[in-house]
Every structure is written in structure tokens, then in C-alpha cells.
Amino acid sequence: TKEQRFAAKTLNFGITYGMKVKKFVDMMNAENLKEGRDKINVKQGSEIINRYRETYKVAGKWLNDVGLVALREGSVKTRYGRKRFFQPVSTKLDPDAFRGQIEAIKRQGANMPIQGTNADITKLAMITIHDELKDYGYRGNIVLQVHDEIVVLAHKTQVDDIKSIVVESMTAAGQRLLPTIPVEVDSYVSEYWKK
């Protein structure tokens, strides 16, 4: 259902970003209010998050482990090999600020390989799309990139061919960096961009 999809998306992205129970409850209740559904309380939100973590233990362990690598080694990297470095935690901070800095590094360190790999895939696809359009004389140009979306302006007589180039380029870029994971690309043709 639409409600389940919103909750799943909120959990998947939120937990990756280090979202706490209160933020999850606030986001769910904002959507519930908009859709005319009952609010959830902190206890219900906590139960949902705990069920998620129990169901996806391997993902939770991976996020925790990568966060600890960022803290311990001072860097993490994407599947492409791009690195993000972190400043060492200052021992001159008060205890609350010290803990906050540790949690921020762990949260950002766990998130970077996911977000960064997605960005790498998108950039690799954009390079291929650009080259294919130019090399073969297609009347199309990349006009916008939003997160993992690539918007291409194409002449109406070449839309189907250009759409195939976009899908094949994005799929190949994903499979290059995530060879064991099935890569699926959604695409559509429209007279205007829609989210």
C-alpha cells in the first residue's frame, strides 16, 4: 500500500542516515495527518524500528561496522574507491559534545559508501550517456540530474533510441560497481519532468 511504501522508504533511508525514533514518528505522523490516518506514538515507532532491525540484521551489522571503520581508521570509501576522510575526535570536548562527534562520524561513515556509490553509478552513467549521444549524433542532451535520476531532453523522432541508451548506460554503471546485485532501472518519456 501507499502507507507501507512510505514507511519502508522512511525506514530504509532514515536508518541509513542514523534517524532516531522521534524523527521517524514525526515523519510518519506528518504523512498520516496528510492522508487522514491515525497518528503513531513513540512506543509504536520504536516497535516498527526494532522489527525492521530484527528483520534486516545483516544490513544493521554492516552499517554499524562501517561506522566503526570511519571512526577507527578516519575514512571510508565507495565501491568505486572514492574516499571520505574524517577528522579525529577532539579529546578537548565536553562529554556530550565528544559523544555527539563520535555518533556523527559513525552515522556519516555508514552513509557515505551507500550515497557515494550511488553518486558514482550516476556519474558513470552520465558519462556513457553523454558519449553515446555525441558519438552517434543523437539529438539529445542531459539537462538535469537529481539524486539517482538523469533527465535527458531528446528529439521526438529519437526518443525510443535515447531512452534505450539511458537505461542501458544506467544498468551497466550499476552492474559495474555492484556486480552481484540485480540492477533495475525505471524510465519514462514525458513532455515534462515529474518527480
pLDDT, tens digit (0-9, with 9 covering 90-100), for 142-176: 999 998 999 999 999 999 999 999 999 999 999 99
Asked whether residue 3 carries a pLDDT value surpassing 90, the answer given is no
Average pLDDT, the chain: 94
Integer CA distances (angstroms), 163 to 51, 125, 192, in order: 40, 13, 15
Over residues 9-35, the mean pLDDT reads: 89
Instruction: Specify burial of residue 60 (Cβ count, 10 A radius: 0-12, 13-18, 19+).
Output: middle
- Which of 53, 50, 3, 54 lies closest to 28, judged by CA? 3
pLDDT value of position 128? 98
User: What's the pLDDT at 20?
Assistant: 87
The CA-CA-CA angle for residues 111, 113, 118, to 5°, reads 100
Model's pTM, two decimal places?
Answer: 0.85
Please give the average per-residue pLDDT across 127-149, as a whole number. Answer: 96
Give pLDDT, residue 165: 98
**Cell triple for 3:** 502507507
Residue 87: predicted pLDDT: 95
pLDDT class of 181 with cuts at 50, 70, 90: very high
Give yes or no for residue 18 having a pLDDT over 90.
Answer: no
Residue 194 pLDDT > 80:
no
Q: Using CB atoms within 10 A of its CB, is residue 172 exposed (0-12), middle (13-18) or buried (19+)?
A: middle
The region of weakest confidence among 18-22, 97-101, 145-149, 162-166 is 18-22
Q: Over 80: is that where the pLDDT of 180 sits? A: yes
CB atoms within 10 A of CB 89: 17
